[in-house]
Structure formats: structure tokens, C-alpha cells
Copies of this chain bind each other. A is one copy, B any other.
Amino acid sequence: MAQQPPHRSANPTRRAHAARASVTMSDVARLAGVSPITVSRVLNHPERVSPGVRERVHGAIGKTGYVPNLLAGGLRSSKSRLIAAIVPTIESPAFLQVVQGLTHKLDEAGYQLMLGQSGYTQSREDALVQAIVGRRPDGIVLTGILHSDACRKLLQASGIPVVETWDLTPTPIDMAIGFSHEKVGAAVCEYFHRNGRRRPVLITGGDDRALRRAQGFMEAAQRLGLRHDALAGVPLRQLETPTSLQTGREGFAELWRRYPDLDAVFCSSDQAALGVLTEAQAQGIAVPERVAVVGLGDLPFAASLHPALTTVRIDGYAMGCQAAQYLLDRLAGRPAVAGAVDIGFSIIQRQSG
């Protein structure tokens, strides 16, 4: 299928990087017959400049193709109009929703988002934070509350507003918005119990938050006396993070083999739950009659599945919007939140369980 390009680049100029022909504010000023600072004002405080001059300057900008150097401006004003966010991975739609919320809200306010992926490891997060702080963003959004000491110190010393997301903590670096993962686990376990399920199993990712949900589930199970006949606890299959359709499918196949009496599955993501649904369908196991399946996230596809997926709704988009808002409030000098804010969750009952 490979095909060679029919023509070469139509671009005639020899492209040395960062061609030093770059137009500066002074060039524009000269052409408009004003001083550079006036050009700056036209761009940043147009109301402080007379309409006539404003127009002349805009004309000059158009003619020269001037694009302000935000590095220079940022250096001088210590305002970069840049917000940085670190997520474990954007391959997980759950984090993606937060990113979308952030993007949307920040974009409205004229800020840009710079995204980093930590891949769930602390060393990588540390490196990212260092690189990010070096660019002096106006704010930073973090995922989770587990950060190295060095990272916390660095962030606090930088004086940059920080929002931690996806979790709650009595000791945030600065601000925080999230929910209790233990409570999610407990709530789903109680939900199963209410619906008459007595032998649940867990399919979970191996990251900190997923494991705390599992823990909350187990504790509730113990309290409610749910257990497999041969087992003191709830069978748990821990998978790589992030969990996928594939891992969910395999995980369920394995659990079903070992515990053929299981009657409910709580998955740590909707993707894994889709995997369970797929495997159940392939094996002819009736959902929800024989096995109840509950996911986590309420991703867009959850409602469209067959059977439609019962899941724990986490409003990632709202979390992203909120996080952005906290940052924007702080930057605008408005009173911002203190401590951690609980965004909550809810169980969306559909057909699968």
C-alpha cells in the first residue's frame, strides 16, 4: 500500500529553524508611527488607547504578520496564561473527561492547557512537575493526592496555585476536588446486597485509587456477611492499569472458572465492564439474570450498550471545570476554595445489574 510522494515540498524558503526574520513589537511600532509600549497596550489594554491609534496599530500588525512573543511577555509580567495538568494517562477516558472540562473552561478564559502524562509513577510525575514549574505556568492541576515529598515541596515553594483532583485529603498541597474512593466501593457493595446478590467479585486496576475502592468494597462485604462459600473474603482479580476491554474480558473468564457461583462483578472501569459483558455474551452467561455487572465512570458508551451498563457515575467533566474555576478564581484575586471539595458520585442503575 505504500506510495511515494508525487511532488516535493512546495515551500520555497530554506527553513533554518527559528528564522531570525521574526517580526517584533518595535517593527510594528515603527510602521504605525508609535512607540512599542503603545503596541503593547493595543494588545493588552485596548481601552487605554485612542481609537485612531488602535486602528493604525492593528493595520501594522496585519501588514507585518506580527505574532506577539508570549515568552517575552510572560517573562516580564510573570503571567504566562498557561495552565499545566498532569494525568496518569489520557488513554483512560475517565481522565480525558477531566481534561476536556479543563480545556473548555480555560479556553473560555483565554488560557492554554499544557498536558503531561505521568503513567502512574511517582518518579515520572516528579520529572514532569520539574519541567512544568520551569515554564512558570499560572496554575497546575494534579491527579491524585499521592505525591513525593520533593514534589510537594517544589510546588509549595513555587507559589503556583495547585489543584489536586480525583481524591480527597485533609492535607492538600493547595486546593483539591475529588471524592471518596472507599465510599464508592462500599456503596456498590451495599447496592449489590440490596439487590439480593450474595457472592460478588471484584475486577480492579492496580492503582492506588482503584485499590482503595476495592478495600471499601471488601469492608462493606464483611460487614454485610457477603462471602463465597469457600472464601473468607471477596475474590479479587487485579489487573494492569489502566484496565481495558481485553483485561476485563480475561479477568472475568478467569474468575468465572474459579468461582462459578459468583453472581455480581464490580469493575474498576466501564471499559473493563464492557469486557465482562463481551465475555459473558461469548459464553452465553445471562446478564443480569445470572451475573450483575457494574462499571465505573459512566462513560458515554455505557448507556448504549446491550444490556445498558449499570455504573458509578463520576462527573469528570465537572471536576475539570471546577478545578479550572478554582485556579481562575485564585488568579483573578477572587477568594478561592480552601481545602478539599467533595464532588461525590452516584450509582446509575441500568440493565446490567
The chain A residues found within 8 Å of chain B, CB to CB, are 1-11, 13, 15-22, 65, 67-72, 74-75, 78-80, 82, 90-91, 93, 96, 99-100, 103, 112-117, 130-131, 133-136, 138, 153-154, 156-161, 168, 170-176, 179-180, 183, 187, 244-246, 249, 271, 274-275, 278-279, 281-282, 300-301, 303-306, 330-331, 338-342, 344-346
Residues in B with CB closer than 8 Å to A341 are 5
Query: Known contacts A8-B338, A9-B338, A281-B281; can you find 18 more A-B pairs with CB under 8 A?
Result: A1-B345, A2-B344, A5-B342, A7-B171, A9-B175, A21-B159, A65-B154, A65-B157, A69-B134, A71-B80, A90-B90, A90-B100, A91-B93, A112-B131, A113-B115, A244-B300, A246-B303, A278-B304
Cα separation A248 to B24 with both chains bound (whole Å): 50
Contact B158 A67 (CB under 8 A): yes
Contact A90 B99 (CB under 8 A): yes
Residue of chain B at shortest CB distance from A281: B306
Residues in B with CB closer than 8 Å to A300 are 244-246
CB distance from A242 to the nearest CB of B (A): 11
Residue of chain B at shortest CB distance from A97: B91
Residues in B with CB closer than 8 Å to A275 are 304
Residues in B with CB closer than 8 Å to A172 are 9-11
Residues in B with CB closer than 8 Å to A69 are 75, 134, 136
Contact A135 B96 (CB under 8 A): no
Contact B90 A117 (CB under 8 A): no
Residues in B with CB closer than 8 Å to A249 are 304
Contact B154 A331 (CB under 8 A): no
A-B contact pairs, 22 of them (CB 8 A): A1-B179, A1-B342, A1-B345, A1-B346, A7-B339, A8-B339, A9-B175, A10-B170, A11-B174, A15-B174, A17-B331, A18-B138, A18-B159, A19-B158, A70-B134, A71-B71, A91-B93, A114-B114, A245-B300, A245-B301, A278-B306, A279-B306
Residues in B with CB closer than 8 Å to A271 are 301
Cα separation A8 to B90 with both chains bound (whole Å): 30
Residue of chain B at shortest CB distance from A15: B159
Residues in B with CB closer than 8 Å to A301 are 244-246, 271, 274
